[in-house]
Structure 1
Amino acid sequence: MRGISLGVRSFHARPPSLQPLRAESLLLKATSNRLPGIGSFSGKQLHRLDKTFFQNTRFPQARHIASRVKSASPLDLRFFSSNAAQLRTAELPVLSPPSVAGWLIASSVLVFAVIVVGGVTRLTESGLSITEWRPITGILPPLSQSQWEEEFDKYKATPEFKLLNHSMTLPEFKSIFYMEWGHRVLGRIIGIAFVAPLIYFVARKRLTASLPKSLTGMALLIGAQGALGWYMVKSGLEDSLMETPGTVPRVSQYRLAAHLGTAFVLYAGMLGTGIAALYDWRYATKGSWSGLSDGSQFQKVLANPHVRRFARYSKGLTALVFLTALSGAFVAGLDAGLMYNEFPLMGGRLAPPTDELFSKDYAKAPDGSDMWWRNILENPTTVQFDHRCLAITTYAGTAILFAMTRNPALRAALPPMARRMAVSAFAMANVQVLLGISTLLYLVPVPLAAAHQAGSVLLLTTMVQLLVALRRPGAAARIWRQATQARTGKS
C-alpha cells in the first residue's frame, strides 16, 4: 500500500481509543508490504479486500479496524486518494479549530466591555432610568418627543426621582437613559454573538466532545443574566423605599453582587475555554504546550511536586481574586467607598471601633442573632474594611506567587507561559492597588472607579491564563498529536 498516511484535515470525527490507532499503524505497515499496488484498486476490489485481507490478517488488532471499516462497506474510496492514500479522519475525535477559540475569546471581550459599562452605569446613577424590562421591544430607544415624555413620566414615579432627582430635566434624563439603554443593548449583543455561532459550530460538528454541554450552559447563563439584571433593577424601584427614613434609593447590594458575580463567571468561562481550545490546537498540530516547543514533556512537568504545589496555590489565589472582586460589588452597592477616604488608616487607626464595625443597629432579629452577618454584608463601614482586608491579602498572595517563581527548582520546572502569567498577575495587582487607593482618596470619581473595576477583571484574566497554562492538553488534542506523530513517522 504505497504512500498510506494518517490525514488530520477534517473535524468530523468519533473518538477512538489510543490502542486502535496503534493497530491502524500496524495494519497500514502490513498492507504496504503485502499489497504494493493498492492505489489502483477499484471500489469493488477494495470491498473484497475488506472481506479477505482485513478479516484474515495475521494481525489480531486489525479485526477491530476491519469491523470499523465495514461500517462504511462497500469500502469507501474516500479512504484513499489518487496520489497518497490517506485514512479518513473519521477515526479521530473532533478537535475544535482556531475559529472556535477566536469566537470564545471575542465573546469574553464583549463580557469584559459590558462589565465596565455596567460599572459606569451604576457610578453615574443611570441604572434606574428604565423602569421596564422589555427584552424584544426594548432594543429601540424612544424615537419621538411623545415617547420620551412617556418614559420620563415613568421615571418620575420612581423613588429615585422623588428623593434625589426631582429637579431633573428631560435632556438630563436622556443622558442617563442612554447609558442604561446602551448597557442593556450590549447584553443583547452578547447573547446573539454567543448563541448564533454556537448553533453553527454544533451543527457543523466543530466542537470538541466536552464543549457543547458547557457552552450550552454558558448560553443559558447569559439569558439568566438578563433576568437577574432586571431583578436587580427592580429592587431599586420599589415604593417601600419611600417609607424608610434616610434611605437612599439604590439597588440591593445582594442582587448587584449576584449580577456582577455571574458576569465574572461568564467571562472566566468563555476566556478560559477559548484559550484552552487554542492551546489544544497548537499542541495537536505543532506539539507546543504552554510555551514549550516540545509539548510531550507536559506529563513530566505536571507531575513535578513543585509544579503541583504551585498549581494548587494558583487555584486558591484565583478564588481569592474572585472573592475580592465580589466584595467590591457590596462596596459599590452600599456606596461604601465614600466612607473613610484615607489609606491605610480608617479614622486615624488601622480599623474602626468594634461597636462601629458590628453595630446593633443593623440587626433585625429580636435576639440580635443576625448582627454579625448583617454587619458584614450591610454595614458600609464593615464592608469597606472587609474589602480592604481582602485586597491586601490578594496583593500579598500575588507577591508570594511571584516569589515562588524565583525559586530555582520551581523556575526550572515551570513552563514559560506559567512563569509569564505569574509575573503578569503580580504586575496587575500593583496597578489594581494603586487604582483602588486613588479611587478611595479622590472620593470615587467615575473614571478611576471604572478603571478599578476593569482592573479586577484584568487581574482575573491573568489568573485564568495561568490556570490554563498549567492544564494538560485535552484528550482529543492528545489523540490528534499521536496521529500527527504517526503520520510523520515519529514515535
Structure 2
Amino acid sequence: MLKTFLGAAIRQRHSCVLSTGNNCTRAFHIGTSHGPSVKSASGTIRNLLQSSALLSKSSSFSSRCYSALAQQKAVIARPLESRFFSSNGTHSATADATLPVLAPPSVARWLLFSSTLVFAVIVVGGVTRLTESGLSITEWRPITGVMPPLSTEAWNVEFDKYKGTPEFKLMNHSITLEEFKNIFYMEWGHRILGRVIGITFVLPLAYFAFRKRLSTSMPANLTGMAVLLGAQGFLGWYMVKSGLEDSLMDTPGAVPRVSQYRLAAHLGTALVLYAGMLGTGLAALKDWKHAKSGIWSGSRTMLWQDVLSNPVVKRFSRQSKALTTLVFLTALSGAFVAGLDAGLVYNEFPLMGGRLVPPTDELFSFAYAKNPDGSDVWWRNIFENPTTVQFDHRVLAITTYFSTTWLYFQARRPALRAALPPLARVSLTAAFAMVNLQVLLGLSTLLYLVPVPIAAAHQAGSVALLSTMVHLLISLRRPGVAAQAWRRATVQKAKP
C-alpha cells in the first residue's frame, strides 16, 4: 500500500514538471528513466529513497524553469512603451505609457536658437533701413536670389535695374558701382538670414513632430509660426515693392521710401514670431525642469498653486501683461518713426520746439487729410505726420519707462516680494535695467540725429526689453498639463 501511494505521488510530481516546458521535461525523464523496481522490502525502501532524491532535484530544477518562464511572460505581457520613452533616455523605462508627451530640452534649445536668429534678423533689418539699402534689390527671387552676382557683367545688370528706381533717380543718381555693392550686400544679407531662419525652423519642426517629441499644444502653435514665417517673406517683398513704385516720381516733394504701414506690419510680425518662439522655448524648458526636479520658477519650496492663487500675485500678473502689451506697442510705433524719418525732426528733449507739446494745428494738420470733409485728419496725422508720429512715440516711451519703474518698485514691497517666485523678481529687475538703458539709447538717437550704430542699438534694445517681459510672464505661468502629469507620476513613484 505504501509503495502504491508513493508511486502515485511521484507520478503526480512528474506531471507538474512536464508542464513547465520540453527542456525541463526532457531533463527529468533522463534522471528518472530507470523507474522503481521492487523485489524485496529493502529494495523497495532503497528505490523509494532514490526517487525521493530525484524528486528533490527535479523540484529545484523545475523552480528555475518556472522562474525563467515567468520572466519571459512578464516581458511579453509588458505594454509597449510610447515613442516618447524610447526617445528620451532620461525617463524611466517603467514609466506609465499613458502619460502625455513632454517636450525634451532639445526642443526648447531649438526654439531658443530660432528666436535668437529672429532677434538678429530684426537688428539687421533695422540697419538695412538706416543705411537705405532696402531698395537696392529690385526683384524677389526666393530660389535664384540666394546667390549674389558673381561676375562684373552680372553686377552691371543688377546696377542697371537699380538705376530705373525712384530712389536712384531722386537721391542716388551719383552712386558708383562699388557703393551700390555695399547697399546690395546689406539687403542680400537680410534676405539670406530670413531664408536661413525658415530652414532652421521648418525642418526641425518636421523632425520633432515625426518623432512625437512635441507636447499636445505645440504642433498647432508651431505650425502657425511656420506659416507666419513664410508670410514674412511675402510681406517683406510687399513692403519693398512700395518703395519701387514709379508713382513716387509724380508726387511733389516725395521721398523714395517704403510704406510706413507695411514696415510696421513687417516689424510687428517679426516681433510676434520672436515672442512666440522665445516664450514657447522658455515654457518647454521650465516644464521639463518642473517635471524632473519639481523646480518651478526657480524655487523648490514654492507651490505654484499657492503662488498663482494669491490675489496679490494675480494683480501683479495682470499688470505685467498690460506692461508687455505697452512695450510691444512702443516698439511698433518706432516702425512708423523709422518709416517717416520722424527721428530727424525736433531733435531735442524733453521739449519740441520749446514746448512740451507742439501746436495743435501742427499735430493735426489738415494737409494730411485726403477726404474733402477732413474726416480722416485725426488718424492720418497719427500715422502719417512725422511730428505727430514722433510725439506719439515719445508719449509711449515715457509711459513705458514710468510703468516699468512703478512695477519694479511695487515688486520690492515686502508683501509682494515674499509672494513672487525668484525668477519673476529677476526678470523684473532685468526689465527695469533694460528700460533705463533703452531711454539712454533713445535720447542719444534723437539728439545725435539718428546715427546708425546708436539707432540700431536702440532697436535691439526694444527687442531685449520685450524679451525680459516675456520671461517675466513665463515665470508666472503654471506648468503645462504634461509637466504636471509627469511630476505627479514622479512623486507617486518615489513614495515607499
Q: TM-score, normalised by structure 2?
A: 0.83
Match in the other structure for 2:194: 187
> What is the identity, as a one-letter code, of the residue corresponding to 2:331?
A
Higher CA-based Rg: 2
CA displacement, residues 59-108 of structure 1 (integer Å, 9 cap, x when unaligned): xxxxxxxxxxxxxx8555879xxxxx963542211100001000000000
Match in the other structure for 2:392: 386
Paired with 2:474 and 2:94, the residues of 1 have a C-alpha distance of 33
Match in the other structure for 1:82: none
Match in the other structure for 1:224: 231
Match in the other structure for 1:210: 217
**Secondary structure of the equivalent of 1:214?**
helix
Aligned residues of 1:127 and 1:180 also touching (Cα < 8 A): yes
**Secondary structure of the equivalent of 1:126?**
coil
Aligned residues of 2:248 and 2:256 also touching (Cα < 8 A): yes
Paired with 1:98 and 1:472, the residues of 2 have a C-alpha distance of 18
Paired with 1:77 and 1:368, the residues of 2 have a C-alpha distance of 72
Cα displacement (A) at 1:364:
0.1
Q: Is 1:355–2:361 an aligned residue pair?
A: yes
Paired with 1:327 and 1:87, the residues of 2 have a C-alpha distance of 54
Paired with 2:69 and 2:454, the residues of 1 have a C-alpha distance of 73
Paired with 2:70 and 2:384, the residues of 1 have a C-alpha distance of 79
**Distance change (3 Å), C-alpha of 1:210 and 1:38:** farther
Pairing partner for 1:367 from 368, 373, 397: 373
Q: Is 1:126–2:133 an aligned residue pair?
A: yes
Which ranges in structure 2 are unaligned for 5 or more consecutive residues?
A: 1-64, 83-91
Paired with 1:45 and 1:375, the residues of 2 have a C-alpha distance of 79
Aligned residues of 1:225 and 1:263 also touching (Cα < 8 A): yes
Aligned residues of 1:43 and 1:74 also touching (Cα < 8 A): no
Match in the other structure for 1:479: 485
> What is the identity, as a one-letter code, of the residue corresponding to 2:186?
M
Paired with 2:151 and 2:226, the residues of 1 have a C-alpha distance of 35
Q: Is 1:199–2:206 an aligned residue pair?
A: yes
> What is the identity, as a one-letter code, of the residue corresponding to 1:187?
G
Q: Is 1:250–2:257 an aligned residue pair?
A: yes
Paired with 2:479 and 2:461, the residues of 1 have a C-alpha distance of 29
Q: Is 1:92–2:99 an aligned residue pair?
A: yes
Paired with 1:340 and 1:46, the residues of 2 have a C-alpha distance of 80
CA displacement, residues 364-397 of structure 1 (integer Å, 9 cap, x when unaligned): 0010000000000000000000000000000011
> What is the identity, as a one-letter code, of the residue corresponding to 1:289?
W
**Distance change (3 Å), C-alpha of 1:434 and 1:86:** closer
Paired with 1:77 and 1:205, the residues of 2 have a C-alpha distance of 15
Pairing partner for 2:144 from 116, 137, 142: 137
Cα displacement (A) at 1:439:
0.3
> Pairwise mapping of residues 398-417 of structure 1 onto structure 2 (< 5 A)?
398-417=404-423
> What is the identity, as a one-letter code, of the residue corresponding to 1:338?
L
Cα displacement (A) at 1:42:
3.8
Match in the other structure for 2:344: 338
Cα displacement (A) at 1:38:
10
- Comparing 266-275 and 402-411, the one that deviates more: 402-411
> Pairwise mapping of residues 144-159 of structure 1 onto structure 2 (< 5 A)?
144-159=151-166
CA displacement, residues 387-433 of structure 1 (integer Å, 9 cap, x when unaligned): 00000000011011101111111111100100111111111000000
Paired with 1:39 and 1:174, the residues of 2 have a C-alpha distance of 79
CA displacement, residues 218-272 of structure 1 (integer Å, 9 cap, x when unaligned): 0011100010000000000000000001100000000000000000000000000
Pairing partner for 1:431 from 421, 434, 437: 437
Aligned residues of 1:358 and 1:382 also touching (Cα < 8 A): yes
Aligned residues of 2:81 and 2:97 also touching (Cα < 8 A): no
Aligned residues of 1:235 and 1:252 also touching (Cα < 8 A): yes
Pairing partner for 2:317 from 303, 308, 311: 311
Pairing partner for 2:307 from 301, 304, 307: 301
Match in the other structure for 2:448: 442
Q: Spell out structure 1 runs of 4+ moving beyond 6 A.
A: none
> What is the identity, as a one-letter code, of the residue corresponding to 2:169?
K
Match in the other structure for 2:329: 323
Match in the other structure for 2:13: none
Pairing partner for 1:395 from 401, 407, 412: 401
Aligned residues of 2:101 and 2:216 also touching (Cα < 8 A): yes
Paired with 1:287 and 1:40, the residues of 2 have a C-alpha distance of 39
**Distance change (3 Å), C-alpha of 1:39 and 1:328:** farther
Q: Is 1:116–2:128 an aligned residue pair?
A: no
Match in the other structure for 1:466: 472
CA displacement, residues 185-210 of structure 1 (integer Å, 9 cap, x when unaligned): 00000000100110110011110011
Paired with 1:227 and 1:319, the residues of 2 have a C-alpha distance of 26
Paired with 1:345 and 1:363, the residues of 2 have a C-alpha distance of 26
- Comparing 241-250 and 401-410, the one that deviates more: 401-410
Paired with 2:248 and 2:476, the residues of 1 have a C-alpha distance of 49
**Secondary structure of the equivalent of 1:90?**
coil
**Distance change (3 Å), C-alpha of 1:78 and 1:437:** closer
> What is the identity, as a one-letter code, of the residue corresponding to 2:203?
A
Match in the other structure for 2:52: none
Paired with 2:401 and 2:80, the residues of 1 have a C-alpha distance of 62
Instruction: Report the identity percentage.
Output: 71
**Distance change (3 Å), C-alpha of 1:99 and 1:86:** closer
**Distance change (3 Å), C-alpha of 1:335 and 1:78:** closer
Aligned residues of 1:195 and 1:219 also touching (Cα < 8 A): yes
Aligned residues of 2:136 and 2:162 also touching (Cα < 8 A): yes
Cα displacement (A) at 1:277:
0.2
> What is the identity, as a one-letter code, of the residue corresponding to 1:98?
P
RMSD: 1.8
> What is the identity, as a one-letter code, of the residue corresponding to 1:122?
R
Paired with 1:259 and 1:217, the residues of 2 have a C-alpha distance of 17
CA displacement, residues 88-132 of structure 1 (integer Å, 9 cap, x when unaligned): 542211100001000000000000000000000000000000000
Aligned length: 423
Q: TM-score, normalised by structure 1?
A: 0.84
> What is the identity, as a one-letter code, of the residue corresponding to 1:237?
L
> What is the identity, as a one-letter code, of the residue corresponding to 1:359?
S
Cα displacement (A) at 1:46:
4.7
